[in-house]
Amino acid sequence: MALPVLKLFPRPRELTLRGGWLAVPAPPHPTATFLKGLPTTMSEAQAALDSAGEGACRIVHKPERGPEGYHIEILASGIRLNAGDAHGVLYGAQTLRQIAEQYPDELPHLEITDSPDLPVRGFMVDLSRTRVPKQGELLQLIAALGKLRANQLQLYIEHTFAFPGHEDAWKDASPLTPAEIRELDDACAAVGIELVPNLNTFGHMERWLRHPRYRAMAECPDGWIHPLTNQFKEFPGTLRPDQASLDFAASLLDSYLPNFRSRQVNIGGDEPWELGQGFSKQAVAERGKHRVYLDHLKKLCALATARGHTTQFWGDILLEDLALAQDAPADTVPVVWGYDAGHPFNEQCGRLHELGRNYLVAPGTSAWQSFTGRLDNALTNQAEAVGAAIRHEARGILLTTWGDNGHHQPWPTSWLPMAAGLAQAWGFPANHKTDFTAGCAILGGLSAGDSQAVAAALTQLGTLDGKIAKANRNKSLTWDFLTAKPETLAKFTDGVTAAEITAAQTHLAEAEALITNIADATIREELSLGARLAGAGLCRAAGQAISIEEQARLTKEYEVVWLRRSRPGGLAESAAGLFG
């Protein structure tokens, strides 16, 4: 008999087929009973590890396998799962179940050795820029992340937690409640994921500072000029670096942190755009922006330390001046982020490695500010990030998916990048070419046939941007075409040819044909709507107006599709940004 063809995901570090088969008679045969009873939670895995392994099929504690590592042997005499810890048991059990699903009557003789390339394999999802998923969706995400061997999850929060006494900031946002956070924390712990609290405490505070009650804490209470676009922004977004802001951040942390098991916290700290334009103008003139930033960051980190937490923070400001990287508090974890192909991860990671820092690297899914995703950029960005993280001995990665400017993207457009990034963080060489069908099966809870149809449609959609040579950072041109105000549309269409628009429309039509093959109604309707919104953008770029009736029809459909997975808070704001 020919050797079996095994499809395992994530692919293991080493797989050797030995030839021969181990029969799996029906229960109560010990082999079938062992497979049926494989652990599915960390508590079950720990119990299996603590009990003495006996019998032809057994689980054995082998510390030399290392954290999260495991070794499987399937021989004529039975099955051996040796694991370094409970995580290794859980991941080894996942692999055995995949084998048994493909060969339920007899298992191929083989040997598998597996362990992670990176200790931390995290995922962060934006829950503040309009879209807050329903609790059931978040629980399904956690279950899928466990199968993708993520071991850290962060929910990006600005204002979408029901902070006591701050109802004016979150009352219309459908926020997470303390009970919901604790339920998510329990679900994460069950599958070996650390739910790390993530709460912005410096920049990106516009959801608070737009309210009169909080405006006095802003660096620029009366508005500010964005340093990248020179646009005036009415609502401030950065807290002033003073004691009042520190007291405010401390009060938020005191409400938020007790809902988590984790002894880490990500305090944000990225993009304090206004710093030096208002309250801190004189301090920045005297000491420099980076020093003012760093001094306040140290005080924010001290808040976390005083509460028994290790601080994570976004490292963009710190890494603008690599000479200052050595001055960040030594016991903190900077997160190096960059979402474009070609980001200087090697330079930045190399500097932190030279300093002996414990740090994370954050690539992105490239799904935001797009209706179809930007798959090519995402795959390159992630491979570069994971490669640099391994090369320069980072603690791990934090794969991010954002919701800038309305969180318009269909949720499945993140799936292919998620599958790729997390699988590569587990084992980079083995998973350099990602099994997208397997990833969609896990993330969507789909059958093999439907996951293949979804993967095909997402691949076609995700490569739409390549049909137009012009590109904008961190977004799709088709999204720009649709959401731009009439007076700024020409800025985005300049240099785009009619032939490129026609090629993009043809590519999109082929994607829509693939979408019709998807059996899952929710996914089919999400991707179909995303394709038609992108198509409307192309029509607008070609000089064709979108009628009021068509806008109303697409908006209504957008609202219906949104409510399948997400809470109502933020929907009106998101929908209002669709047509410029």
Where is average pLDDT lowest: 1-15, 165-179, 261-275, 509-523? 1-15
pLDDT of residue 142: 98
Looking at the structure, do residues 94 and 172 belong to the same domain, yes or no?
no
Phi, psi angles (nearest 5°) of residue 265? -155, 135
pLDDT, tens digit, 9 for 90 and up, residues 391-420: 999 999 999 999 999 999 999 999 999 999
In a domain, 520, yes or no: no
Looking at the structure, do residues 182 and 104 belong to the same domain, yes or no?
no
pLDDT of residue 578: 97
pLDDT for 209 beyond 60: yes
pLDDT, tens digit, 9 for 90 and up, residues 239-252: 999 999 999 999 99
Q: Which of 114, 141, 169 is the last residue of a domain?
A: 114
Q: Assess whether the previous peptide bond of 30 is cis (omega < 30° from 0).
A: no
Number of Cβ within 10 Å of residue 516's Cβ equals 10
Mean pLDDT of 168-175: 96
In a domain, 547, yes or no: no
Looking at the structure, do residues 147 and 32 belong to the same domain, yes or no?
no
pLDDT, tens digit, 9 for 90 and up, residues 537-567: 999 999 999 999 999 999 999 999 999 999 9
pLDDT for 368 beyond 80: yes
Nearest by Cα to 567 from 177, 282, 257, 253: 177
Residue 238: CB partners within 8 Å, gap ≥ 6? 202, 203, 205, 218, 219, 220, 272, 273, 274, 275
In DSSP notation, 535-561 reads HHHHHHHTTPPPPHHHHHHHHHHHHHH
Mean pLDDT of 353-372: 96
pLDDT of residue 387: 98
Question: For the CA atoms of 91, 93, 95, 98, what is the dihedral angle to 10 degrees?
Answer: -140
CATH of the domain at 246: 3.20.20.80
pLDDT band at 152, cuts 50/70/90?
very high
> From CA 318, how far away is CA 324, in angstroms rounded?
6
pLDDT of residue 4: 83
Q: Which amino acid is at 86?
A: A
Looking at the structure, do residues 98 and 158 belong to the same domain, yes or no?
no
pLDDT of residue 377: 98
Per cent of the chain over pLDDT 90 is 92
Looking at the structure, do residues 130 and 108 belong to the same domain, yes or no?
no
Number of Cβ within 10 Å of residue 212's Cβ equals 9
CATH of the domain at 87: 3.30.379.10
Q: 169-178 — which CB contacts under 8 Å span 24+ positions?
A: 169/207, 169/208, 169/211, 169/214, 172/569, 173/132, 173/207, 173/569, 173/570, 174/132, 174/567, 174/568, 174/569, 174/570, 175/132, 175/569, 176/127, 176/132, 178/259
Cβ(272)–Cβ(305) under 8 Å? no
> From CA 146, how far away is CA 451, in angstroms rounded?
18
pLDDT band at 228, cuts 50/70/90?
confident
User: 161 - beta bridge partners?
Assistant: 176
pLDDT of residue 151: 98
In a domain, 321, yes or no: yes
In a domain, 53, yes or no: yes
Looking at the structure, do residues 72 and 125 belong to the same domain, yes or no?
no
Average pLDDT, the chain: 96
> What residue numbers bound the domain in which 29 lies?
14-114
Q: Token pair for residue 314?
A: 């976004």
Q: How many domains does the chain have?
A: 2
Looking at the structure, do residues 355 and 300 belong to the same domain, yes or no?
yes
Q: Token pair for residue 131?
A: 């879209």
pLDDT of residue 272: 93
Number of Cβ within 10 Å of residue 275's Cβ equals 28
Looking at the structure, do residues 428 and 357 belong to the same domain, yes or no?
yes
pLDDT band at 518, cuts 50/70/90?
very high
In a domain, 478, yes or no: no
Q: Which amino acid is at 321?
A: D
pLDDT for 52 beyond 80: no
Q: Which of 433, 464, 498 is the last residue of a domain?
A: 433
Phi, psi angles (nearest 5°) of residue 349? -65, -40
Can you tell me whether residue 262 is helix, strand or coil?
coil
In a domain, 349, yes or no: yes
> From CA 271, how far away is CA 402, in angstroms rounded?
14
Looking at the structure, do residues 213 and 273 belong to the same domain, yes or no?
yes
pLDDT, tens digit, 9 for 90 and up, residues 456-476: 999 999 999 999 999 989 999
Per cent of the chain over pLDDT 70 is 100
pLDDT band at 20, cuts 50/70/90?
very high
pLDDT for 1 beyond 90: no
In a domain, 452, yes or no: no
> From CA 424, how far away is CA 9, in angstroms rounded?
11
Looking at the structure, do residues 369 and 396 belong to the same domain, yes or no?
yes
Q: 76-85 — which CB contacts under 8 Å span 24+ positions?
A: 76/20, 76/22, 76/109, 78/22, 78/31, 79/22, 79/31, 79/34, 79/35, 79/107, 83/45, 83/49, 83/59, 84/115, 85/49
Looking at the structure, do residues 323 and 215 belong to the same domain, yes or no?
yes
pLDDT band at 321, cuts 50/70/90?
confident
In a domain, 542, yes or no: no
Residue given tokens 């030096």 in the structure block = 276
pLDDT for 360 beyond 90: yes
pLDDT band at 120, cuts 50/70/90?
very high
Looking at the structure, do residues 285 and 145 belong to the same domain, yes or no?
yes
Q: Which of 406, 433, 460 is the last residue of a domain?
A: 433
In 103-242, where does DSSP find H-type helix?
A: 135-147, 167-170, 178-190, 206-209
